[in-house]
Amino acid sequence: MATEVQIERRTIQSFNPATGELLREIECQPDAEVAQAVLRARQAQPAWNALRISKRIEVLRNFQDLLHAKKTDIARAITLEAGKPVVEALLTEVNVVLDSARFCIENARSFLHDEALLHRSLAMKTKTGRILREPYGVIGIISPWNYPFSIPATETLAALIAGNAVILKPSELTPLIALELASLFHQAGVPKDVFQVVIGDAPTGAALVNSNIDKLIFTGSVATGKRIAQTAAARLLPVVLELGGKDPMLVLDDADIDVASSGAVWGAFVNAGQACLSVERCYVHRSIYMRFVEACVAKTQQLRVGSGLDPQTDIGPMIHERQLRIVEAQVEDARARGAHVLAGGERLTHLGPNFYAPTVLADVNHSMTVMREETFGPVLPIMPFDSDDEAIRFANDSNYGLAATVWTKNQSRGEAMARRIHAGTVMVNDVISCFGISEAPHGGVKASGIGRTHGKYGLEEMVRIKYLDTDRLPKMKKLWWYGYGEAFTRQMEGFVDMQFAKSSAQRLRGALRTLGLLRRKEQL
């Protein structure tokens, strides 16, 4: 008798990082289910794209209204699964998504409207041209755990308004937030097959990359991004890759120490330092170095670490033990190489399994891993410099190039410095907040990735460009069609001279030679 083969299904577990409490266990979707989800999306996408743009805008308005009404519940759900304080979830996730919806609503019509293409080519004056922006079809999104709501939501909003269907694969550490996002979209009027969530771990993500999607948006590590790029290249799958950063902060000699130190502390420790735009390296002019360090230490020691559900908390837990160990290893490496730990530098086990004290390191240098590899934790390493040129060298001495900040009272000086830094974004006298500007593109250079999300350039990533050319004289044979010969060659030489010769006399002679083109009888 034949026996049935039992296939063991993988599962993932979502935990509260503050307490270690199991929130939910979910089965991973196997490759076949991922492929089926993509197939359903492909079948549903044409009808979604065929909707009038006003209808898609209406759906986004519904989404915006629903999210606003549920803002506190969504923020608390983010805190339960990702750990950050509720107020940070409101500010850096919910508010960012609401504003992204506003941007898409306001700009969708003008962006997707046919764009007239003007040209000055004399040979093509009978033609009219337009640029069309058409959806790719099915967009795959693989999103991270550190901003489990704002990152996938902003990318999805851009994809949907452009007429695409979306398959979202969230991090295995934060799947519940993705399901909340799906519920909001579906309640707002997005058809269930047009926005789908596939739950799983790394093999599930690989199945999505290898499926019949038309483009992939990935946010994650450099190592994973490189593997995805190699896989995508095999079938010329277009990708957008946001792969993290080692963002430098440059504090010039004329900076306001109080303001800049507050910016450094918040920029290094927001979301427990688990942000791709975090201050990961801080360089301070030697003339103010000691005062700046002292200010950072004093402010760090005032921060309250605890559960993100407590409104008094400034810094919540890290996401999991593995990430905490990376932070510990970098701090210990720096200590062993001569750095001084002036605040923090230890686990806070009495608070829970994943808490690490906000840490300030002084006297660091580029031999230390904390200054070269992404930390992604609550660590602020501070290093002195002696000149603007040296600060630029330090800032650019990295494989990453996502963002940077320059702090100075002189705006012109700050902007001049910013132009010399190799990064996708440089802020003067602020940190991280660029992510909350929906009009501003987000993305990096070097190992920080390729492509952009957010703003007009993020919308451009969601469409294919088509050029539509129409000739206004359909009954006229084109002058350059077959029927070549010596006479035609001389006429075309004259045509080129008429347009591009340096002297007026030569242009006039060329024009006269060109007149013969109008009397061509040799054309086929």
- Which residues are the active-site residues? 242, 276
**Which distant-in-sequence residues (6+ apart) come within 8 Å of 205 by Cβ?**
142, 169
Cα dihedral 507, 508, 509, 515 in deg (nearest 10): 110
d(CA 299, CA 187): 44
C-alpha dist (Å) from residue 428 to 96, 283, 431? 21, 14, 8
Residue 73: φ, ψ to 5°? -65, -40
3-state SS, 15-38, equals: ECCCCCCEEEEEECCCHHHHHHHH
Q: In 248-309, at which residue ranges do the beta strands (DSSP E only) sit?
A: 248-251, 281-285
CA dihedral defined by 445, 451, 454, 457, rounded to 10 degrees? 110
Pairing of β 340-343 and β 359-362: antiparallel
Tokens of 425: 């974004």
Whether the CA torsion 118, 119, 120, 126 is positive or negative: it is negative
Tokens of 416: 């001049």
The Cα angle at residue 475 between residues 472 and 479, in degrees rounded to 5: 85
H helices of 355-503, in order, are 388-396, 411-419, 455-460, 486-500
